[in-house]
Every structure is written in C-alpha cells, then in structure tokens.
Amino acid sequence: MASPVPPDTHAVPVKERDESLELQPFLDEIQGDAVMHTQGLEAREAASAVFCSLARRLSDGEDVKLFRALKGGIGAILGACSVHRGPSRAKRIGRDEFITDVADHLNIKPDQAFRVVTAVFTAVRDRIPEDEVAAVASQLPADLGDLFRRPV
C-alpha cells in the first residue's frame, strides 16, 4: 500500500509569502476608500495609475529610492508602469494636472481621481521613512508636494 503524499509546504517560497504580507495590507488600505467601491476600481489598478504619474515626476535616482523603500512587492507596482512613463522624466506639473493624468489613466472624473491620489499617497507615506517622504515631496511642485507630505 502506497503511503499518502504529504502536502507540498514549500510550493511558495518564503520570500513571496513575506511580500504578500506587506502588499495585501497596502492594497486593502487603498481599497477601503469609498471612491474605489463607487467607481468599481481595484486597489492595484489605482496604485498603478498614481505610481505611473508620480514616477514620471521624479528623477531617475529618486524613483529608484522610492521603489526600494516600498517593501514587500509594493515597489513592483511603481516599477511596472508603461502608460505614463516615457522620455520626459522629472516633469514638474501642478496638482491639477497630476490628478487629471490619474483621472485619464483610470477613466474617472478628476474629483474622484483626487480621492484616489489621496488614498494612495497616504498608504505610501505610511510605509516609507520620513526622510524619503521629504525627498519625494521636494521633487514635486509645492501644491503636489503638500499633498504627498504627512499631515502635521
């Protein structure tokens, strides 16, 4: 009689399991915003749209630092953008144009995109050191940098 085969407990490498433990709360925090439900948006899609626009506004070095500061697979969303990224890097635009970019990316109204941007910025800044928050905000125009900074 053949002995039963034990379940494969090593099917998912430990590193991947650790990443999901950090990524899922990040996505859950964003998904909890009411605009996500009313617009039928998924948190990963919203984060990607905001990260696309944000990465385009940062210098190459600063976007890499932010990518590294976002642990557990969160930074991979930042690095996966193909919609807004292009040859024009570190483009300084104001808050309204940034929000319009996100609205266009998600095909929603700008006032709804503002809520999405706020939810994603909050989830990001809660997960990175204060010096990285300041470094990112310093590369943004004042009105957008203020939105990114931690509330005082």
Question: What whole-number distance in Å separates Cα of residue 32 and Cα of residue 30?
Answer: 5
Whole-model pTM? 0.80
Look at residue 85 in the predicted model and tell me its pLDDT.
Answer: 47
17 Cβ contact partners less than 8 Å away, ≥ 6 residues apart:
none
pLDDT at 18: 40
Is the Cβ–Cβ distance between 44 and 76 less than 8 Å? no
pLDDT for 91: 66
Say what the pLDDT of residue 137 is: 94
Provide the pLDDT for residue 64: 85
The pLDDT profile of the chain, 152 residues, written as one tens digit per residue, is 555 555 544 444 444 444 457 899 999 999 999 889 899 999 999 999 999 899 888 887 888 898 889 888 888 887 666 654 455 455 667 899 999 999 999 999 999 999 999 999 999 999 999 999 999 999 988 989 999 997 65
SS (H, E, C) the chain: CCCCCCCCCCCCCHHHHHHHHHHHHHHHHHHCCHHHHHHCCCHHHHHHHHHHHHHHHCCHHHHHHHHHHCCCCHHHHHHCCCCCCCCCCCCCCCHHHHHHHHHHHHCCCHHHHHHHHHHHHHHHHCCCCHHHHHHHHHCCCHHHHHHHCCCC
Q: State residue 14's pLDDT score.
A: 40
**Could you tell me which of 83, 79, 84, 45 has the C-alpha nearest to residue 63?**
79
